[in-house]
């Protein structure tokens, strides 16, 4: 995604666009909105989205400090025009005309805090932002980063249903960081170049609900069962690893921003008609008995074009799939209940 953005040229955006196979005048205008743009994830995400040549308008919103972020990012000499919006009165203006809304808003995890502890604060934030999306840009794709994703995606879905705007093809829980981590950890143990690695990650986006399918990893490496179990556990605990390493000073913000930018780029490519764009995401699904589930999704002009089957699972992965269902169902139900209170 980013290689084309970093080409040194007197016209870097044009060079990047040409490298993508587009003439600059043929690239559609796309407005992307980041809700929570001044936060720990929001700021690096704003930077990375400013580097994306598929974006023509970048709208940055938060309850405070957005003008500074917008001014700073806005000086970067790439295609998109940047506008900053702050406070409740500006939310509608930030959202109007959006093609894609990314939501990293909310409080981060702290040491000893589970994703469930985040619920009461972040659920209220997501509920209010979803009401505004339904009012001002009901056709936009929505990328949910705010945790706990297993609950915040169902909250947004319920709010959109109440507003009569819900389209299951346009709501995504961003689980890309689990995929990024699985690829990194797998490449290290398999001794293969990480850029060549692909690992699907299914289930949800917290603890044991995160299920990396290392049996489907490519390129395949002959790793022991014990090593696969250790890699699975590390992927599931990746967020905690960062929280502890930052010693109470923060959570996974930089890697989450990178993962969020990757998934947003995939969504934009899908909107623009690029074929065969497949990423893992937490979406409304019928591939299990649960109403929402993360798996590989084909992206297109309407958002979700196809939710792909899980494919063949190892015995260890089958056990993990059964083990995660109760917790994931509980988180989904909690979100639905909150939205309907």
Do residues 121 and 231 share a domain? no
Averaged pLDDT for residues 213-232: 97
> What pLDDT is attached to residue 246?
92
> What pLDDT is attached to residue 112?
74
**81: pLDDT strictly greater than 80:** yes
Q: Is 109 annotated to bind ligand?
A: yes
Catalytic one among 50, 79, 170, 205? 205
Q: Is 38 annotated to bind ligand?
A: yes
Q: Is 146 annotated to bind ligand?
A: yes
Cross-strand partners of 198:
218
Question: For strand 81-86 and strand 57-62, is the pairing parallel, antiparallel, or unpaired?
Answer: parallel
Name the residue among 106, 290, 294 with its Cα closest to residue 182: 294
Percent of the chain with pLDDT over 70: 91
**24: pLDDT strictly greater than 90:** no
Averaged pLDDT for residues 33-51: 98
- Which carries the bigger pLDDT value, residue 129 or residue 22? 129
Asked, for residue 13, whether it belongs to a domain, the answer is: no
In whole angstroms, give the CA distance from residue 79 to residue 135. 28
Do residues 41 and 159 share a domain? yes
Do residues 140 and 278 share a domain? no
Do residues 158 and 301 share a domain? no
Do residues 232 and 289 share a domain? yes
Q: Is 41 annotated to bind ligand?
A: yes
Q: Is 106 annotated to bind ligand?
A: no
Asked, for residue 61, whether it belongs to a domain, the answer is: yes
Work out the pLDDT band at 8, boundaries 50, 70, 90: very low
Contacts of 42 (CB under 8 A, 6+ apart): 34, 36, 60, 62, 69, 104, 105, 257
Can you give the pTM of this predicted structure?
A: 0.93
Averaged pLDDT for residues 305-332: 98
> What pLDDT is attached to residue 120?
86
Q: Return the axis-axis angle of helices 254-271 and 42-50, rounded to nearest 10°.
A: 40
Averaged pLDDT for residues 29-44: 98
Do residues 77 and 129 share a domain? yes
**DSSP-assigned letter for residue 218:** B
At 316, which CATH number? Answer: 3.90.110.10
Asked, for residue 7, whether it belongs to a domain, the answer is: no
Do residues 189 and 334 share a domain? yes
Domain-ending residue, one of 125, 140, 174:
174
**15: pLDDT strictly greater than 70:** no
At 140, which CATH number? Answer: 3.40.50.720
The whole domain housing 301 covers 175-340
Contact predicate 200/296, CB 8 Å: yes
Do residues 183 and 301 share a domain? yes
Q: Is 248 annotated to bind ligand?
A: no
Q: Is 115 annotated to bind ligand?
A: yes
Averaged pLDDT for residues 122-140: 97
pLDDT of 240-280, one tens digit each?
Answer: 999 899 987 889 999 999 999 999 999 999 999 999 999 99
Q: Is 39 annotated to bind ligand?
A: yes
Do residues 302 and 262 share a domain? yes
Contact predicate 243/223, CB 8 Å: no
Do residues 87 and 188 share a domain? no
**3: pLDDT strictly greater than 90:** no
Annotation marks residue 205 as catalytic: yes
Q: Is 298 annotated to bind ligand?
A: no
> What pLDDT is attached to residue 109?
65
Do residues 298 and 180 share a domain? yes
**25: pLDDT strictly greater than 60:** no
Q: How many folded domains does the chain comprise?
A: 2
Do residues 210 and 335 share a domain? yes
Mean of the per-residue pLDDT values of the chain: 92
**198: pLDDT strictly greater than 90:** yes
């Amino acid at each position: 995604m980013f290689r084309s953005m970093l080409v040194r040229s007197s016209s870097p955006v044009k060079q990047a666009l040409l490298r993508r196979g587009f003439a600059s005048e043929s690239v559609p205008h796309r407005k992307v909105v980041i809700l929570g743009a001044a936060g720990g994830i929001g700021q690096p995400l704003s930077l990375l989205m400013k580097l994306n040549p598929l974006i023509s308008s970048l709208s940055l919103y938060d309850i405070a400090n957005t003008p500074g972020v917008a001014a700073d990012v806005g000086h970067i000499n790439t295609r998109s025009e940047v506008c900053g919006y702050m406070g409740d009165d500006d939310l509608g203006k930030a959202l109007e005309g959006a093609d894609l809304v990314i939501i990293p808003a909310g409080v981060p995890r702290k040491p000893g805090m589970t994703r469930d502890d985040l619920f009461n604060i972040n659920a209220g934030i997501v509920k209010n932002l979803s009401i505004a999306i339904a009012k001002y840009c009901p056709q936009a794709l929505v990328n949910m980063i705010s945790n706990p994703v297993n609950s915040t995606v169902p909250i947004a879905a319920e709010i959109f249903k109440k507003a009569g705007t819900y389209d299951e093809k346009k709501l995504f829980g961003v689980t890309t960081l689990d995929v990024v981590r699985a690829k990194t950890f797998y490449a290290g143990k398999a001794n293969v170049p990480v850029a060549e690695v692909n690992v699907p990650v299914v289930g949800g986006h917290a603890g044991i609900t995160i299920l990396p399918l290392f049996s489907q990893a490519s390129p395949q490496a002959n790793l022991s069962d014990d090593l696969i179990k250790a890699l699975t556990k590390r992927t599931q605990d990746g967020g905690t690893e960062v929280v502890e390493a930052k010693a109470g000073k923060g959570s996974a913000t930089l890697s989450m921003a990178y993962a969020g930018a990757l998934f947003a780029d995939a969504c934009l490519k899908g909107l623009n008609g690029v074929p065969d764009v497949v990423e893992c995401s937490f979406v409304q699904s019928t591939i299990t008995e649960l109403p929402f589930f993360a798996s590989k999704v084909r992206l297109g002009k309407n958002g979700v074009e196809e939710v792909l089957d899980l494919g063949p699972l190892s015995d260890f992965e089958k056990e993990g799939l059964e083990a995660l269902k109760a917790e994931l169902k509980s988180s989904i139900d909690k979100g639905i209940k909150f939205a309907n209170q």
